[in-house]
Amino acid sequence: MSEHASDVCLSAVIMAHPRRLHQAERLRGRFPDLGFRVVLDPDPDGPPTTWRTARRAWQAVASGATHHLVIQDDVDLSDDFHFRVVEAIAAHPDRPLTLFAEWGSRTASAIRVAAALGHSWAPAVDDYLPCAALILPAELARGFDDFAVMNSTVEDPDDVVLFDYLRALGSDAIAPVDGPVEHDGGDSLVGNSTMGVRKAVRYVASRHAATHESVLTGLTAVPHYDWWEQQAVMFIQDASSPDGWARVRSGPAFEHLGIGTSEVDDALEGALRDVPDRDALDDRVSAIIVREVWKTAYLLGAVIADHGAGLEDDDRFLGALSTLAPGALRRIVPAHLLTTIAELLRPVVILGAGAGIRSRSVKRENGETR
């Protein structure tokens, strides 16, 4: 471990509903060195909400702790979770660390950019704070409950309240490219099953050696596949927006990047000629959806090019990129077909990102970018 790891004193809690107590106990049994305590919903028969249990979980900071970890009862953890947590805290002792980002989130896109550029961490850029597994410095953790009582109600999701809390403090969370946490994909107790399967953008079950801990900075545009509306969009940094990001549709997004939509469409037409199993793709996925996935990947590549050349054949980048399609389509494709459809779309995503990287890079070299 790093030389600063010995300075880390971690307290750890699993927040759980009594119906999932067995899952919490199993997690606690797997990691005895972490000393997990289980915090149960104080009103399990009340309205479904995470707010009650989250308040108790963030109150439960152990005396003398430097950092507090809260995980939810429906996650799975990597075998080397303890090692990676301590290393992450030692590298970023003052930062909130969100250890799980689902594959269809804005933060997933930020992670894909970070992976392409060789970084190990990306900024959390959603309008909520991913908190299935979250670490806060102890003093931040201790302050959450007072904020929650003063600024929210039992109907508010804990991830939104945590986002508002950190935003009020000016404290920004980061998320790892090598994710040590996976979501188990079971039914949600608070109504989130309507979002479909929510897996990690890039789950790494065991990372045998520590990596350098650089963080992607300067991200001002985040391509995103809007899986509610099934279309490519982009979020542009905007201090006047409630969450700091303004949403634009793909047309204005390409215009913002100085890319013509006809160029994007022509590139798709050419790429489709090189897609294996084209007949299967045409048979199973609407051409409209293929185009929106392509545009999302193209935007992603263009943003990557704005930060550097991009590593199109890098395993970490390709691993993170491979979850774009299932993250996008998890509400409209049956769960048992999601892997198959994602594989059909995989070349579309890879070719789209590569086309975006090359197009934007050429424009930058020619002085055509804004």
Kindly report each contact of residues 159-162 with a partner whose C-beta sits within 8 Å and lies 24 or more positions away, as own/partner: 159/50, 159/128, 159/129, 159/130, 159/131, 160/127, 160/128, 160/129, 161/51, 161/54, 162/54, 162/128, 162/129, 162/131, 162/134
pLDDT in tens, the chain (370 residues): 555 677 899 999 999 999 989 999 999 999 999 999 999 988 888 888 899 999 999 999 999 999 999 999 999 999 999 999 999 999 999 999 999 999 999 999 999 999 999 999 999 999 999 999 999 999 999 999 999 999 999 999 999 999 999 999 999 999 999 999 999 766 655 545 677 899 999 999 987 555 668 999 999 999 999 999 999 999 999 999 999 999 999 999 999 999 999 999 999 999 999 898 999 999 999 999 999 999 999 999 999 999 986 665 688 999 999 999 999 999 999 999 999 999 999 999 999 999 999 998 887 777 776 6
User: What is the C-alpha separation between 127 and 245, in angstroms, rounded?
Assistant: 8
What pLDDT is attached to residue 100? 97
Domain ranges of the chain: 5-195, 221-365
What pTM was estimated for this model as a whole?
0.94
What pLDDT is attached to residue 191? 47
What pLDDT is attached to residue 64? 95
What pLDDT is attached to residue 338? 95
What pLDDT is attached to residue 311? 62
**Tokens found for residue 101:** 């980002």
CATH number of 5-195: 3.90.550.10
State the burial class of residue 57 (Cβ atoms within 10 Å of its Cβ: 0-12, 13-18, 19+).
buried
The C-alpha R_g of the chain, in whole angstroms, comes to 21
> Torsion angle, CA of 274/116/70/142, rounded to 10 degrees?
-140
What pLDDT is attached to residue 195? 74
